[in-house]
Chains A and B, each alone.
Chain A
Amino acid sequence: MGENRFPSPFELPTPEGAEGWEELYPYSVLFSEGRRDYEDQQFWFMDSMHWGWAMSPWDADHLMYAIASLSQYNSRHYLVPPANGIDFRVHLGYPYFSPVGIADEAEIGARVPQFMERAGHYFANWDSLYDNWLEKVKANIAELESVDFSPLPEVEPLEIVTSGRGVGTGWDLQAEYHRFQDLAQKIWQYHFEFLNLGYAAYLDFFGFCKQAFPSIPDLAIAKMVAGIEVDLFRPNEELKNLAQKAIDLGVADAFANPDDVDKVHAVLESDAGREWLAAWDEISQPWFNFSSGTGFYYYDKTWLQDRSTPYGFIADYIAKLQAGEDISRPIEEIRAERDRIVEEYSELLASDEDREAFAGKLGLARTVFPYVENHNFYIEHWSMSTFWKKSRELGEMLVKEGFFTQADDVYFVRREEMDNLLFDLYSAWAVGASPAGPHYWPNKVTKRRAIVEALQKSRPPKALGPPPAVVTEPFTIMLWGITTDSIDMWLNPDEGGAITGMAASPGVAEGPARVVFNADDIGDVRDGEILVAPITAPSWAPVFSKIKATVTDIGGLMSHAAIVCREYGVPAVTGTGQATTSIATGDMIRVDGNTGKVTKL
């Protein structure tokens, strides 16, 4: 790579209109003079895979919770021999990460026995620990649900006085907020309890396959491991059931114009319609706590919040069912195909010893995989949508109290500022005078919204600082798919303007592109188009039965887009970095999911 390096964070200009962006994030995640020597020597890559858009202050909190938790499990719980945590910064609204590896071989060696004991405990007891994990996550969600952001009462209830409690609802409100943030952080602690180990087991199997069969498609490996009964697919399966139910009840016509949810509900004003709505209600908890985005942004909407998206999918399924199509997941076929693939690769191995290692590694990868697939539903979708719902309740309360003009102003207040805000609210209530906040926050929020908007329009570089000679840090490779080669490609982009990415789901397709920037536009996608998006979410799954192929800017082989595309047998190229900027809606393109090439025709 020679003298090639990425820009220093200290030399990047602030985009117009984003001046003062630093105040959106805590001092601890900003590049700063105090740590400049260190920061300028490090290689930082942007995690556009999870946070592909500029973050509001509350969006950024989850980034911080997540990466601190990830790090903590590597560095303090399991003592992953060659890896400590991932250092993180927020720069110009986007996250930059720098893995902290361990280079000293003696130190690595010293950590091995501890890792084997600690991680060994998890691998040996995976299933029971996972069952336990599900209970913990559900309990955490229930606790989040119980958080109470009711407005302060005019007068304390009598009971508070007579019980001799000694503290009032003003204190409670602040305590609820603290509890709320603590629970939010816990979401991420749980998220990473299993993830790193799960990926390590997967990587172990993956590496073995690549050694035995140098050209084995990544997809083949994923197919051998992937689960059959996956909670992540459940929401979509339930939509299919509801489509069938609408037909059975004779209310399928109600979905003729699914974008207009009120109209759909008006048509469902009948016994049969009410029966259908009852069926929806029954299944919607928890399965429709399903975000139309990644779940990482405050504006991502769940199917519960906005039914037009799931109703649109139901309408598509109804049309398919009425045309006589079988839309059920062919579980038996998927299972038979998976077994066949495993058997045939096993047969092609060189020795019985290899076959034994293959079987062992595959077995462990399969053990860990339910977590790897399903955590996405329990954390990113269900836990996070509960977090956002409660945040909205807080925002709504503060609109009533005059601090905000709209509920989602709440996301533009940093979490420690919210502590001050609530004290302002409480103390003014206690004093019986006016709080300062209503004169302070509306302007502040307006300004911060404009900053995020300006940051949104500018895409900072994929990486900062000097590139590493070779990427060896396992989590950089495993979780983000970043390799020496990919960094090299960022530094020396293909001159021919070819769009390349990961061959995430095989097959070749040609057709008109439909560029979709966010979930609200997913309804624009027409049959036979090729979906081009920054990233896709699992909740977009139903659209995959319409499209010919998918291209994303962001995401690796185990990204949600890749998993869903393989499930639907739709060719996909992920992680192109530039598809949405180089391709326009209506362009004829060819997507080769076998080679990872996208060509404009």
Chain B
Amino acid sequence: MCRSCPVVEEHEWWVHRTVTPVPRVARMRDASPYVLWFDEYTEDDRPRVGGKNASLGSMITAGLPVPPGFAVTTDAYESLRSHPDLVAHVRGLLDPLDVSDSRLLQKVAAEIREAIVALPIHADIEEAIRTAYAQLSAHCGSPAGPEQGIGVAVRSSATAEDLPDASFAGQQDTYLWITGADSVVEHVRRCWASIFTDRAIAYREQFGYDYRQISMSVGVQKMVDPRAAGVAFTLNPSTGDRSQVAIDASWGLGESVVSGEVTPDNFLVDKVLREVVERTISDKAIEYRRVDGVVTVCEVEDERRTVQCLTDEEICAVAAMARRAEKHYGRPQDVEWAIDRDLPDGDNVILLQARPETVWSKAPRASVSHGAYDPLTSIVSTLVSPMHRKNQ
């Protein structure tokens, strides 16, 4: 029973995401040089996977759960780029180009991109991408084929020698909800080609970079399809208590919580005991869901409306993830998270976004000890005023 509604802007659900060690996807023993899983590479691999992919990897290392996926390494792009036909073709087009002629620039850029997309890929590369995609799909409980499989984001992750962050120099094309191996391969090519958008070419020309300095890795990452989602604060927003995580959660995408369209379930979790210490289950009338590829507001069936939308295990997993983000960033955090419906239990909590908490973190924290500790003075003052009980 969905009432159709305008498409909500499709978020790049995987941006800033973090997942616990990618639920280790079953993978080939003999790793191909062309594919590296997110949880597999180290900081040393940064030049081969690009800045974006590398940061996903470092989040995984910090225990922050981004959705699983893999990087198609720069080795793949470079084997293509060094194709003699392409080299000659590109040089012939770019060398005489005046980038201030925007119409010409547009035409040349399109021509180069078409050439790249049309170029046959080395069979080993294509095989590596298809295999990895099939493994990722299988992990998410979805059979894969040329036209079927799990929905992924295909995203460029540019890199450049001696340039700490080359994102500016390559274009950051992203394709969401790509399904099927054929389409994944095609969109990997499009990412490669995106080095030659007119904007990128003009940019390089202006700042004196050579396109040959730029390389391109591509990330292929599972799209999040939230069964439930929400926000979490790594402190109690009403008391400022840092020993608690406060979680708001509702069915479907996090939009309904963030926009305030539903009263979410609310949980307080003790960070240390790792237990739910307070819960309020609300009537959750609507949810945002993807229906036929379109994000749609749906009415929640009666059976689910007043049911707690997370299991206690999931609540604790969300809290633990928020706490890891807090530790990773060294300050209280306000995080957006989702429970992915395709991933196996225990690995399905996904971090979508983390930003610093601003309300309680503004003021410096008051110390609760009064001067140097002296046991007897302290006991006397406790006996004279057993004030802690007044808080209860």
Contacts and interface: CB of A to CB of B under 8 A. Distances in A.
Nearest to A358: B369
A83 B383 contact: yes
Interface string B108-120: 0000000000000
B88 interface: no
B379 A201 contact: yes
A263 interface: no
B378 A361 contact: yes
B364 to A, nearest CB: 8
B373 interface: yes
Interface string B369-392: 100110111111011111111111
Contacts of B391: 210-211, 214
B271 interface: yes
Interface string A354-376: 10111011001000000000000
B277 interface: yes
Given A120-B376, A345-B243, A348-B243, A478 B369 contact: no
A81 B366 contact: no
A341 B272 contact: yes
Interface in B334-382: 365-369, 372-373, 375-380, 382
Interface stretch (A111-119, A408-416, A454-462): A111-119
A244 interface: no
Contacts, number: 146
A356 B386 contact: no
Interface string A192-232: 00000000110110111011111111011001000000000
B300 interface: no
B218 interface: no
Nearest to A220: B273
B375 A203 contact: no
B267 to A, nearest CB: 10
B239 interface: yes
A81 B383 contact: yes
B386 A207 contact: yes
B108 to A, nearest CB: 58
B376 A217 contact: no
Nearest to A592: B279
Interface in B228-272: 236, 239-244, 268, 270-272
A108 B272 contact: no
Contacts of A507: 275
Contact of B388 (A112, A119, A201, A207): A207
B276 interface: yes
Contacts of B312: 508
Contacts of B392: 210, 483, 485
A158 B368 CA distance: 75
Interface size of B as a range:
35 or more
A293 interface: no
B245 to A, nearest CB: 11
A384 B337 CA distance: 57
B270 A217 contact: yes
A334 interface: no
A112 B380 contact: yes
A594 interface: yes
B376 A119 contact: yes
Interface in B266-308: 268, 270-273, 275-279
A220 B272 contact: yes
A120 B378 CA distance: 12
A129 B388 CA distance: 30
Nearest to A108: B384
B246 to A, nearest CB: 10
A220 B270 CA distance: 9
A188 B385 CA distance: 27
A119 B379 contact: yes
B388 A123 contact: no
Nearest to B244: A215
Contacts of A350: 365-368
Interface residues of A, number: 58
B376 A474 contact: no
Among A80, A212, A508, the most chain B Cβ lie within 10 Å of the Cβ of A212
Interface in A105-144: 108, 112, 115-116, 119-120, 123
Contacts of B239: 214-215
A185 interface: no
B378 A357 contact: yes
A356 B373 contact: yes
Contacts of A578: none
B373 A360 contact: yes
A211 B272 contact: no
B387 A506 contact: no
B269 to A, nearest CB: 10
A96 B392 CA distance: 25
Nearest to A224: B272
A181 interface: no
Contacts of B384: 81-82, 108, 474
Interface in A468-516: 471-472, 474, 477-478, 483-485, 506-508
A594 B365 contact: no
Most interface-central of B242, B312, B365, B369 (chain A CB within 10 A): B369
B272 A344 contact: yes
A221 to B, nearest CB: 10
Contacts of A354: 367-369
A481 to B, nearest CB: 9
A594 B383 contact: no
A595 interface: yes
A595 B275 CA distance: 12
Nearest to B327: A347
A298 to B, nearest CB: 35
Nearest to A345: B272
A162 interface: no
Contact of B383 (A80, A212, A223, A506): A80
Contacts of A341: 272-273
Contacts of B386: 203, 207, 472, 474, 477-478
A353 interface: yes
B271 A344 contact: yes
A351 interface: yes
B367 A219 contact: no
Given A81-B380, A115-B380, A217 B277 contact: yes
Contact of A203 (B241, B268, B272, B382): B382
Contacts of B378: 204, 208, 357, 361
Given A204-B382, A344-B272, A478-B386, A364 B375 contact: yes
B243 A213 contact: yes
Interface string B55-92: 00000000000000000000000000000000000000
B276 to A, nearest CB: 6
Contacts of A208: 368-369, 378, 388
Contact of A357 (B242, B369, B385, B390): B369
A261 B165 CA distance: 80
Given A345-B272, A357-B373, A116 B367 contact: no
A472 B385 contact: yes
A112 B378 CA distance: 12
Given A211-B388, A345-B272, A123 B369 contact: no
Contact of B368 (A82, A112, A212): A212
Contacts of A212: 368
A158 B313 CA distance: 80
Contacts of A220: 270, 272-273
22 contacts: A81-B383, A115-B380, A119-B379, A123-B376, A200-B383, A204-B375, A210-B392, A213-B242, A213-B243, A214-B241, A214-B391, A216-B241, A220-B270, A350-B366, A351-B367, A353-B372, A357-B373, A471-B389, A474-B386, A477-B386, A485-B392, A506-B277
Interface of A: 80-83, 108, 112, 115-116, 119-120, 123, 200-201, 203-204, 206-208, 210-217, 219-220, 223, 340-341, 344-345, 348-351, 353-354, 356-358, 360-361, 364, 471-472, 474, 477-478, 483-485, 506-508, 594-595
Given A208-B378, A215-B241, A350-B365, 4 more contacts: A357-B369, A358-B369, A474-B384, A474-B386
